[in-house]
Chain A
Amino acid sequence: LAKTTQPISMDSYEGQEVNITCSHNNIATNDYITWYQQFPSQGPRFIIQGYKTKVTNEVASLFIPADRKSSTLSLPRVSLSDTAVYYCLGARGGDIFGTGTRLKVLA
């Protein structure tokens, strides 16, 4: 079963761009890469999903290289309210969560 790995934690300052990379070396041909955000004591919330190249929505961008063995979530100009855990999912239909990256945004 394909698994994903991410940095355990990251710190950033308000207004900066944050890039979180996820490794999914064994991703299957039909697997999509999906990212969720989770605040304490809340359920995860969908951020963005992609299969290859680049996807952008009003919240983030997702960069996926041609080999699809990794992906990078890009959050433009983060604010304090972006402090959360970010999960990368890239296995078996998107129901297997990675370890998550704890992002702390500092003032």
Chain B
Amino acid sequence: DTEVTQTPKHLVMGMTNKKSLKCEQHMGHRAMYWYKQKAKKPPELMFVYSYEKLSINESVPSRFSPECPNSSLLNLHLHALQPEDSALYLCASSQETGATYEQYFGPGTRLTVT
């Protein structure tokens, strides 16, 4: 199984809502990633988890809160978002962090903040 799944596929939320994005992989990968992608732009790295510990936070605002409950799951908790946070949120995993490891991406969650 080389699949990364993400739920939900689409999410519409108000600026005062709290919601969560979920990501799951069963490939035994020990590195997991969150990316944000705006239309016609490349994915931008947000967070990297290595062995369930946060290893990289690319200066992401605190209204985005990542969580890695176990080696297969990655969550992104959302609170008090702004309309400019509307984007495609991509989750990825790789065997380990580092240049030689291929990342497997999920299909993404299309988030709209109203």
The answer to whether A43 touches B105, judged by C-beta atoms less than 8 angstroms apart, is yes
Q: Mark B82-107, 1 if CB is under 8 A from A, else 0.
A: 00000010101000011111111111
Residues in B neighbouring A49, C-beta threshold 8 A: 100, 102
Q: Which residue of B lies closest to A46 (CB)?
A: B102
Residues in B neighbouring A96, C-beta threshold 8 A: 45
SS class, residues of chain A in contact with chain B: loop
| Cβ-defined partner of B43 (8 Å) among A34, A45, A46, A97 | A97
Interface size on B, residues (CB 8 A): 24
Per the 8 Å Cβ criterion, residues 34-84 of A in contact with B are: 34, 36, 41-46, 49
Tell me if B108 is interfacial: C-beta within 8 Å of chain A: yes
Number of A-B contacts (CB under 8 A): 54
Q: Mark A18-40, 1 if CB is under 8 A from B, else 0.
A: 00000000000011101010000
| Cβ-defined partner of B103 (8 Å) among A32, A41, A42, A94 | A94
The answer to whether B42 touches A99, judged by C-beta atoms less than 8 angstroms apart, is yes
Q: How large is the interface on A (under 10, 10 to 19, 20 to 34, 35 or more residues)?
A: 20 to 34
Tell me if A11 is interfacial: C-beta within 8 Å of chain B: no
Q: A87-B42, A100-B42 are in contact. Are A41 and B98 (CB under 8 A)?
A: no
Quote the shortest CB–CB distance from B18 to chain A (angstroms).
Answer: 25
Please report the C-alpha to C-alpha distance between residue A49 and residue B101 in the assembled complex, in whole angstroms: 9
With A43-B90, A100-B42 given, name 6 new contacts (CB 8 A): A30-B99, A43-B108, A44-B105, A93-B98, A93-B99, A97-B44
Residues of B in contact with A (beta carbons under 8 Å apart): 4, 33, 42-45, 48, 56, 88, 90, 92, 97-108, 110
Lowest 8 CB-CB distances: which A-B pairs, in order? A43-B105, A97-B42, A32-B99, A46-B102, A93-B99, A94-B99, A93-B98, A95-B45
Can you sample 16 A-B contacts with CB below 8 Å? A30-B99, A34-B102, A41-B110, A42-B107, A42-B108, A43-B4, A43-B105, A43-B106, A43-B107, A45-B105, A94-B101, A95-B33, A95-B97, A95-B103, A97-B43, A98-B42
Residues of A in contact with B (beta carbons under 8 Å apart): 30-32, 34, 36, 41-46, 49, 87, 92-100
